[in-house]
């Protein structure tokens, strides 16, 4: 009998996943990951992880499976929290959920599970795993979840063949309503529980609040840049190569203080991210203001009016080799090769037509349509049909 260790988070998805594994005849053990317990940052006096671990324990009891809690907070701090602050201080916007899967759930947690004699690790993600044979070898595929509305393959875009080989995603073929229905029938305490928002480690704390406690506020100005500004209306140069063109399309526009007018103040450029609309607290503009860039060195936020502002729209982005990842290593491109794919630059964005172009130093992703707020530090992921084949950090 194969042994599966499932990460029970205290949510409805992992609860139902555990039940399905049991139905399929696996020996199932539930493990709750405690990732964060620095009491100085739980803003309210409630302790979310306690509630969650309690719910996870009740579910395990109901399903008749062994349960224990593992404390991963040290690794968490090192691999996720410190990395995040580092990124924010560089003016990039990291994606903690993608990292949490790559570094914690499918690495630290997986090692613990395998040490406990598990054959597989399972999670409550809405995605599916496929297996194909190629040149006599088994290759694993990361496929989108059957529920289009809840597909979470993007969050797993950094997994490797080794990690996928040992992973199971029991609810990947179900939709969220079906999952809730199963939980209701079983009368699980998590059946009606809301989906967790907020960071995967700080329970109910929202990211800006968390950052505010860790990164010191410092006042700076908000500079509004008009879409009529000459930097948006330069003549496009002639290109001698495809690479030159892509370099131009993916370039970062350099804003400076004299390109706009001061319209307000903020408490720290590192709290803001490109495309953000809330929190600027500047009124009196015809269209709402969006962040078009943040300069953490000089602590300036550049903003523009309306979601069609040229400072928000770009057709191409670049991923450098160090941050380029192929789940399907057999499909990795060689220099000068191209590949037509569907891609997204954030979770829940509809897939967009794009072309990959491999160069010496990395990979360009050129979209057919303009993309809004391509953000450094976030992940771009690309698909062939419903298979996520690779991803990278936007540089």
Which of the residue ranges 36-40, 183-187, 199-203, 217-221 has the most confident prediction, judged by mean pLDDT?
Answer: 183-187
**What's the average model confidence in pLDDT over 333-359?**
97
Q: Report the alpha-carbon distance of residue 371 to residue 365 in Å, rounded.
A: 11
Prediction pTM value:
0.92
Structure tokens at 271: 């709290």
For 7-11, 205-209, 298-302, which range has the lowest pLDDT when averaged over its residues?
A: 205-209
Q: What are phi and psi of 290, to 5 degrees?
A: -120, 150
- Residue 279 has a pLDDT of 87
Mean pLDDT lowest for which of 24-28, 196-200, 297-301? 196-200
Looking only at the bridges linking them, the beta strands covering 387-393 and 324-326 are: antiparallel
Percent of the chain at pLDDT exceeding 90: 76
pLDDT at residue 118 tops 50: yes
pLDDT for 271 equals 84
Q: What whole-number percentage of the chain has pLDDT above 70?
A: 92
Give the DSSP per-residue string, 305-329: ESTT-TTTEEEEEEEEGGGEEESSG
Contacts 24+ apart (CB under 8 A), 226-230: 226/260, 226/304, 226/305, 227/304, 227/305, 227/306, 227/309, 227/310, 227/311, 229/259, 229/260
- Segments of 95-168 assigned E as strands: 120-122, 127-134, 137-144, 167-168
Mean pLDDT in residue range 33-47? 60
- Asked whether the predicted pLDDT for residue 209 surpasses 80, the reply is no
Mean pLDDT over the full length of the chain: 91
Q: How confident is the model at residue 35 (pLDDT cuts 50, 70, 90)?
A: confident
Above 50 in pLDDT, residue 43? no
* More confidently predicted of 192 and 42: 192
Domains of the chain: 3-214 (3.40.50.620), 220-305 (no CATH), 313-393 (2.40.30.10)
pLDDT digits (tens, 9 = 90+) for 130-188: 999 999 999 999 999 999 999 999 999 999 999 999 999 999 999 999 999 999 999 99
Summarised one tens digit per residue, pLDDT across range 216-239 is 888 999 999 999 999 999 899 999
CA-to-CA separations, 376 to 35, 152, 205, in angstroms, rounded: 26, 21, 24
User: CA 250, CA 366: separation in Å to the nearest integer?
Assistant: 8
Residues involved in catalysis: 100, 200
Q: What is the mean pLDDT of residues 101-114?
A: 94
Per DSSP (E only), the strands in 191-337 are 220-224, 261-266, 289-295, 300-305, 313-320, 324-326
| CB distance 98 to 379 below 8 Å | yes
- Could you say which DSSP state residue 385 is in? T
């Amino acid at each position: 009998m194969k042994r599966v260790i499932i990460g029970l988070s205290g949510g409805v998805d992992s609860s139902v996943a555990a039940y399905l594994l049991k139905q399929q005849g696996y020996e199932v053990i539930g493990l709750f990951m405690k990732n964060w317990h620095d009491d100085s940052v739980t803003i309210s006096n409630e302790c979310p992880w306690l509630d969650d671990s309690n719910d996870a324990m009740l579910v395990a009891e109901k399903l008749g499976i062994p349960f224990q809690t593992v404390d991963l907070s040290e690794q968490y701090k090192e691999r996720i929290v410190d990395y995040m602050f580092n990124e924010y201080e560089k003016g990039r916007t990291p994606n903690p959920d993608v990292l949490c899967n790559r570094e914690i759930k499918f690495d630290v947690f997986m090692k613990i599970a395998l040490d406990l004699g598990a054959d597989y690790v399972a999670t409550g993600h809405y995605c599916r795993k496929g297996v194909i044979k190629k040149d006599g070898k088994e290759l694993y595929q990361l496929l989108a979840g059957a529920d289009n509305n809840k597909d979470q393959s993007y969050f797993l875009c950094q997994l490797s063949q080794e990690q996928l080989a040992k992973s199971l995603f029991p609810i990947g073929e179900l939709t969220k309503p079906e999952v809730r229905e199963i939980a209701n029938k079983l009368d699980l305490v998590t059946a009606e529980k809301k989906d967790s928002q907020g960071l995967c480690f700080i329970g109910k704390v929202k990211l800006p609040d968390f950052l505010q406690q860790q990164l010191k506020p410092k006042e700076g100005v908000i500079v509004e840049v008009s879409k009529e500004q000459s930097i948006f209306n330069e003549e496009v140069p002639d290109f001698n190569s495809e690479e030159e063109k892509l370099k131009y399309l993916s370039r970062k526009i350099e804003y400076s203080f004299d390109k706009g007018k001061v319209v307000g103040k903020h408490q720290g450029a590192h709290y803001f991210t490109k495309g953000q609309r809330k929190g600027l607290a500047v009124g009196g503009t015809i269209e709402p203001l969006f962040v078009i860039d943040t300069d953490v060195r000089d602590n300036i936020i550049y903003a523009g009016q309306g979601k069609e502002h040229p400072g928000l729209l770009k057709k191409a982005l670049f991923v450098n080799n160090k941050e380029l990842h192929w789940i399907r290593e057999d499909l990795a491109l060689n220099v000068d090769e191209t590949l037509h794919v569907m891609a997204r630059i954030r979770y829940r964005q509809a897939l967009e037509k794009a072309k990959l172009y491999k160069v010496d130093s990395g990979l360009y992703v050129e979209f057919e349509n303009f993309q809004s707020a391509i953000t450094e530090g976030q992940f771009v992921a690309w698909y062939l049909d419903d298979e996520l084949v690779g991803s990278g950090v936007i540089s």
